[in-house]
């Protein structure tokens, strides 16, 4: 993973893409994303580690990991939450694939008590240590916190819900394509052949997942440019 002197001016920055082409001649560069997930447990903890590479454990069906032959230039990043049905803390692939991503700890979805404990996530910070070098010491998680104006469960009219009328708002608003993402300046390039230690730390150890029939999942979502066949394995 390396930090570039020239930062992108957005996902479609022509100059930045050209600089990547110059640095990695012969590589195929396309817009893409990475998605890494950590299932939150009922045991109190204050640090959550994300697996970035495809060969780290068994990726969940909704994850998108980096292949060891490639690099990925991160231009925007977000931390989100999901809640899905679980049996003995195991989420079925179908339930995971249908789970909505939340940009905040919505009480309507996570319950009032669980929402309070999840607030610790947004009071924490991301740290990135690559091959023993700290590239980002403390990126505040509060920058990813988005409470929509239109919130699930809000009463907008009186009466009983039917197929033709919905007195309550049915889902949170999502105000634009880049709504929950924070720009990365300068951009960060992940190397598939490197050792990526990306963690989110909270102020205090807290149990941040409900017990019983559901589980919470912390999602690290990165957007940027996939640079195929550009890792150290191919250089």
Q: Per residue of the chain (235 residues), what is the pLDDT tens digit?
A: 454 434 444 445 788 899 999 999 999 999 999 999 999 988 899 999 999 999 999 999 999 999 999 999 999 999 999 999 998 889 999 999 999 999 989 888 888 888 899 999 999 999 988 778 888 899 999 999 988 655 565 555 666 666 666 666 555 656 656 778 999 888 888 999 998 899 999 999 988 888 778 999 999 999 999 999 998 765 5
End-to-end Cα, the chain, rounded Å: 15
Closest residue by Cα to residue 182 from 142, 122, 136: 142
> What is the reported pLDDT for 11?
47
Distance CA 103, CA 124 (A): 15
Q: Residue 21 is encoded by which pair of tokens?
A: 């082409």
Q: What pLDDT shows up at residue 7? A: 41
Q: Two tokens at 126? A: 């991301």
The answer to whether 39 and 89 have CB atoms below 8 angstroms apart is yes
Q: Which residue has the tokens 């589980």?
A: 215
Q: For position 9, what pLDDT does the model report? A: 45
Inter-residue contact 24 to 224 (CB < 8 Å): no
* Alpha-carbon span 206 to 88, nearest angstrom: 20
DSSP per position, 148-162: -SS-TT-B-S-S---
* Residues 6+ positions from 235 with CB-CB distance below 8 Å: none
**Cis ω before 124 (30° cut-off from 0):** no
The pTM assigned to this predicted structure is: 0.83
């Amino acid at each position: 993973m390396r930090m570039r002197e020239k930062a992108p001016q957005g996902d479609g920055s022509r100059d930045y893409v050209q600089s990547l082409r110059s640095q990695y001649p012969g590589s195929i560069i396309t817009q893409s994303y990475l998605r890494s997930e950590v299932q939150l447990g009922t045991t109190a903890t204050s640090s959550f580690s994300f697996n970035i590479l495809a060969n780290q454990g068994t990726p969940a069906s909704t994850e998108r990991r980096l292949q060891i032959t490639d690099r990925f230039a991160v231009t925007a990043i977000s931390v989100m939450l999901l809640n899905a049905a679980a049996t003995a803390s195991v989420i079925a692939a179908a339930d995971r694939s249908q789970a909505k991503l939340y940009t905040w700890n919505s009480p309507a979805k996570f319950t009032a008590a669980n929402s309070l404990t999840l607030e610790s996530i947004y009071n924490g910070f991301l740290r990135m240590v690559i091959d023993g070098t700290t590239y980002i010491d403390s990126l505040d998680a509060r920058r990813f916190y988005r409470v929509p104006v239109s919130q699930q469960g809000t009463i907008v009219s009186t009466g009983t819900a039917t197929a033709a009328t919905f007195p309550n708002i049915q889902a949170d608003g999502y105000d634009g394509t880049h709504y929950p993402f924070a720009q990365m300046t300068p951009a960060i390039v992940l190397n598939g052949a490197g050792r990526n230690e990306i963690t989110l730390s909270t102020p205090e150890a807290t149990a941040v997942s409900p017990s019983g029939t559901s589980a919470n999942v912390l999602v690290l979502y990165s957007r940027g440019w996939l640079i195929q066949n550009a890792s150290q394995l191919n250089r």
